[in-house]
Amino acid sequence: MTAIMTASELLSELSGETPPTLLDVRYEMAGPPGRDLYEAGHLPGAVFVDLDAELAGRPGPAGRHPLPDPADFGAAMRRAGVRADHPVVVYDGGNGWGAARAWWLLRWAGHPDVRVLDGGFARWRGPVGTDGPRPEPGDFTPEPGGMRLLDAEGAAALARRGVLLDARTAERYRGETEPIDPVAGHIPGALSAPTGENVDDGGLLLPADELRARFKRLGAVPEAEVGVYCGSGVSAAHQVWALAVVGLNAALYVGSWSEWVADPARPVATGADPG
């Protein structure tokens, strides 16, 4: 099952016999929820999903965006009209982070058919709605385990035996700046692999051959064990999605750096060297 969809493909499917359920997950790191943007214009029939409130649990020692309680997540998805036997397409404003977080959670929770709109709302050229749809409640019930998951101990071990990718900016990886979390640096042994380098200047995912070449340079190849983390498990979900698009199955450390540094006993590396 493919994990990506173009705007033209979605426009065609929306006029078909079984149009997908649409979820609008516009989100900006450290910004307000995207509901105002949604209400100003969204894909017809799309339901807004709040990443902070519905795609994550309460922030704390487990990170800024820990896993939501499966029951709460399932209730939110049913309110949005998600059905177990019906395809879902998720989109955001354009950078793909919020959409990829929704994609990953739905796949982790067992939904078999979820795709991300490549380029998000910024690439949409079809009709736009301003209504507040009230979808018929869905029937989706999470069955966690559909995607590989790492905790802090597992991430540390993977950095030693496999490939652990740090999806934050290179500056944050090196510890030169840390705008959000209290400690700068990276997990020892992790490799710098900024999520922003997976897309072109227009916000579209790079062609598959370019992505494969990039990941191969990082050691992320089919025979390797690969994991990804970021600041709080959002941009890292985008990296896991990009890896999935080219057929690579990576684990996500959901707690990510914000959980890692919550325990002062955990080691921290700085500089360009993995450490």
Q: What is the pLDDT of residues 11-66, one digit of tens each?
A: 999 998 889 999 999 988 767 778 999 999 999 999 999 999 999 999 999 999 99
In angstroms, how far is CA 265 from the centroid of its own chain?
28
Residue 1 pLDDT greater than 70, yes or no: no
Residue 200 pLDDT greater than 70, yes or no: yes
Same fold yes or no, 4-123 and 149-260: yes
What is the pLDDT averaged over residues 254-261?
98
pLDDT, tens digit, 9 for 90 and up, residues 211-220? 999 999 999 9
CA separation (Å) from 209 to 106, 180, 242, 259? 27, 34, 12, 34
Residue from 96, 56, 60, 83 nearest 203 by CA:
96
State the pLDDT at residue 189.
Answer: 98
230 is an active site residue: yes
Structure tokens at 35: 């509901």
Q: Is 233 left (phi over 0), alpha (psi -120 to 50) or beta?
A: left
Give the C-alpha separation, 38 to 28, whole Å: 13
Residue in 5, 167, 230, 240 annotated catalytic: 230
Domain borders along the chain are 4-123, 149-260
Residue 196 pLDDT greater than 80, yes or no: yes
Q: Hey, CA dihedral for 229, 231, 233, 238, is it positive or negative?
A: negative
Structure tokens at 203: 């916000």
> What's the pLDDT band for 8 if we cut at 50, 70, 90?
very high
Give the C-alpha separation, 186 to 163, whole Å: 14
Check whether domain 149-260 has CATH 3.90.1170.40, yes or no: no
CB 150 within 8 A of CB 251: yes
Superfamily holding 4-123: Rhodanese-like domain (3.40.250.10)
Q: Would you call 199 helix, strand, or coil by DSSP?
A: strand
> What's the pLDDT band for 86 if we cut at 50, 70, 90?
very high
Q: How many CA atoms lie within 13 A of 146 on its CB side?
A: 17
Residue 80 pLDDT greater than 80, yes or no: yes
CB 129 within 8 A of CB 150: no
Q: What predicted TM-score, i.e. pTM, was given to this entire model?
A: 0.96
